[in-house]
Chains A and B, each alone.
Chain A
């Protein structure tokens, strides 16, 4: 039988299968086409969306998990994961903060998280999700006036199908990589933003509002489109350590900037890193990519990564428009047994495109991290320029930092600069501060924050303050 016919038959069977299957709101572990059909149906998606998911799934089946990253983790059993589950019923969740891990509460305290938010973050069954409802409403009205669309990806598929269909998967194709393919097949949540031509989004967009209302998805899908001359600043994440039943997180973020558009995407992520041995921590395998499609467009990624047991993440820019600009500012902190393999890709395709990469890695405890950066300059990217600076700071002598720069230069008019340093948190710097009366932990945090300053100043103000607090909490106890 030809494979095409086989495929059709398979698909038909499942189409029939899933209708009778929908009894409960939660699927048992396992992944096959009926699972995907179930998700799509639950979300009330049109046929084209289901087809797109199935196509991704079939590509995924032919792919293998990447092994090039500098990470060490046991193979993931994708059949042991449940791909759709309704939110936990209130009676199954902790009934009060007394039932929550005291260590987690201690951290909230240190980060200064307001009391009423702690419960929601810790997954406690709360009746009213504090006062964010009213905040969200005013928020939506203001955005509506400006013509900005900001909603969940599921709503967007229902309400703005033509926009989604036009852009989804055009930056990160379904088969881009193993985790992106999986995400494309099974994503259940995420954000959608569209900023119309000439509009500067009147406020910073944050998923924070949504995350407090509903649990974040395991396979998030975010799509942000900035039309000509439009601008938006999007904040992702939350400094509070978030617990999640789902160990594997494989998100996809796609950004599209048309002519003269500017997208600023900031992330402060603090997933649960696991216990001292790294047990129970989140695996974060994320594909983030921005497409500077229009001339003079600009995409800027800023990230502060402190959580997760394992991070695999490379926010990238495709610089296609002439004179378009890509930026990547990153601080990655690992402590305990955390592992991070992170970096960026800047693909210069258009003339006179520019990119800047500033990466700061801080490793403490027995953690291990790698910076992996690719700068590719195409043959038509005349006059393209890149500046890369990646610095690593080691605290203690049991951690590791590695740098893997890749450069592919396709024409002779390009300018590419790369600077890299690795330093141990200098005993001399520590001694200098202490000899001025500053105690050791404060001195470390002062030196580390100074080290990260180039990146922190790219963050929106309130995020920068939180990021500093977060850094201090993460590195607590890493000296002495």
Chain B
């Protein structure tokens, strides 16, 4: 589904990713871990198309399409969705309005008409209940005055409504207490199916107690230094990152 090859990315002239390779197949959950500053968030930002990241070498293919040639919104409509580490506030724009606009944009791209209002209302009510969000959240401005946990739940709510093919979740566990983490993890787990892939970017192993990954990758200095199954995450939890860093330097 997703094929990243020899990806080199610089930010303001400084190399961050230095030849990253990653293949994610449908139905898989991958976790990208690594010490701070290794380039974890850069990877998801580049795939989503954020400005300020220059790809100097390499390629990203999504279902055979050249992602780097696509506009930001085209990537999203194709089913590549990024859940933000710090979701931004948009004053005056209702949450439900953003959801509807996003859903209809994706439908239009697939040649479908706008979703009928009753169907849409039913869908968002159902999904917000899953995320344990009061329906009043839908009427509030996007992320405005939301607590950290509410923002993260709202990100997952968007995923549940938009049903992406590849969900990239950037540090979705940061700033969450244990209860909020469980709700978020439950939401993510409900996204799991044979046609969908999930890419988790996280610093800590604890999220992976709730969302079991198929593959774990350790990102060190702009490259994937080590890959393994979920036991790798547990090893990192007990031994820290230093040994991988040393191993990859050797």
Contacts and interface: CB of A to CB of B under 8 A. Distances in A.
B178 interface: no
A438 B101 contact: yes
A362 to B, nearest CB: 12
Interface stretch (B21-29, B91-99, B242-250): B91-99
A451 interface: yes
B82 A435 contact: yes
B84 A432 contact: yes
A207 to B, nearest CB: 29
A406 interface: no
Given A429-B88, A450-B90, A450-B91, A435 B48 contact: yes
Interface stretch (A10-18, A41-49, A285-293, A441-449): A441-449
A172 to B, nearest CB: 34
The residue among A436, A438, A453 with the most chain B CB atoms within 10 A of its own CB is A436
Nearest to B51: A427
A435 to B, nearest CB: 5
A435 B81 contact: yes
B49 interface: yes
Interface in A399-453: 426-429, 431-440, 442, 446-447, 449-453
For the side of the interface on A, what is the size category?
Answer: 20 to 34
Contacts of A428: 88
A426 B86 CA distance: 14
Contacts of B48: 435
Contacts of B93: 446-447, 449-450
Contacts of A429: 88, 90
B97 A446 contact: yes
A432 B82 CA distance: 9
A437 to B, nearest CB: 4
B92 A437 contact: no
Contacts of A155: none
Interface of B: 48-51, 71-73, 75-77, 81-82, 84, 87-88, 90-93, 97-98, 101-102, 105-106, 109, 141, 158, 162
19 contacts: A426-B88, A427-B51, A428-B88, A432-B84, A432-B88, A432-B90, A433-B98, A434-B71, A435-B72, A435-B73, A435-B81, A435-B84, A436-B101, A437-B76, A438-B73, A439-B71, A446-B90, A447-B93, A450-B91
